[in-house]
Amino acid sequence: MDTPKTYKVALVAFEGISAFHLSVPCLVFQDVFIDRHALFELEICSLSQYDISSASGFDIVVQHDIQIIDNSDIIIIPSWPNALPDVPTNLIEKLLAAHQRGVIIVGLCLGAFVLAHTGLLNGKTATTHWAFSKQFEQRFPNVIFDNQPLFIDHGLLITSAGTAAALDCCLHIVRKLCGSEVASELARVMVTAPFRAGGQQQYIPTPISPRPENPTSFTQVIEQVESQINQQHNIDTLAERCAMSRRTFTRQFKANYGCTFGQWLMNQRLQLSQRLLESSQYPISQVAELSGFGSESVYRKHFKAAFQLSPSQWRANFSG
């Protein structure tokens, strides 16, 4: 029987790196293979020096510089400083040359910024941590940004969302190169899911509209709506209760809450349904009813559109 190929992995560290971001690839591609045949040979390299400080308060001694990239099969940029500095020219040159050789280059979390700096992602979709979506889009208008997936794989170029999504992405690479059986076995050893459904949207906080500072009949009516969110509400009726025309009510609502009444009402109902899914065992049909949706099918449609997960998947992921 042929011995499985061993892939050489170069993991790029930098001054002030998060210990967690650095440890995820180490765990997946190195630590869990202890006492079994190693399918990956991982080495850490530093951008500038051999002794670097981590963001977690301890120093890390790195034995290699980025020259090891020249002989790697996989290059992983596990993150990037939150200040998002420009990428050193020598690293860009190494990555471009590696891409020409057919090396897999991975940008985990803010490491996606490094890949984008090379220009290799131009015209392609990419993702990163949702909190840095605007910065990414502003810096790289030629990249098609998508803040929904946990990771995006273009074959030789892979980007992932933030923090724990790096684990999903690394397991995906194992599955891609070594098969589902190996990836599932590693996931069991790490006591994690071999594949997580859904995308980043489930972790992005839903904006809560600020309340106007001075209570008026208008805000009092909206507060009553909020306390009765599961009931049906009509703009014309609400406008009449506020002694306003429909047009004036609509304009004032948008000015105070930053969205239309319909959008606000939908967000409120979805938030209520999330709390019910997490804290109760009500059937999905009852959650839909208690949240003010006309039917279970309508509720499922809106929930999936908002969070890229079904209500049942949300409950499985977040139920206490």
Task: Please write the tens of the pLDDT for every residue from 181-223.
Answer: 788 788 888 877 666 655 555 444 544 445 545 445 787 888 8
Q: Degrees (nearest 5) of the Cα angle 32, 55, 133?
A: 85
pLDDT digits (tens, 9 = 90+) for 153-163: 999 999 999 88
Q: Which residues contact 116 (CB under 8 A, 6 or more apart)?
A: 107, 126, 136, 139, 140, 143
Is the pLDDT at 250 greater than 60, yes or no? yes
Q: Between 124 and 207, whose confidence is greater?
A: 124
Tokens of residue 106, six digits: 């991975």
Distance CA 315, CA 312 (A): 5
Q: Which domains are present in the chain?
A: 7-201 (3.40.50.880), 217-318 (1.10.10.60)
Could you read off the pLDDT of 88-119 as tens digits, one per residue?
999 999 999 999 999 999 999 999 999 999 99
- Say yes or no to pLDDT of 174 above 50: yes
Q: Which residues contact 226 (CB under 8 A, 6 or more apart)?
A: 268
The average confidence (pLDDT) of the chain is 86
Euclidean distance between CA atoms 291 and 288, whole angstroms:
5
The 10s digit of each residue's pLDDT in 20-45 is 999 999 999 998 876 667 889 999 99
pLDDT, tens digit, 9 for 90 and up, residues 272-313:
888 888 888 899 999 999 999 988 999 999 988 887 788 998
Model confidence pTM above 0.85: no
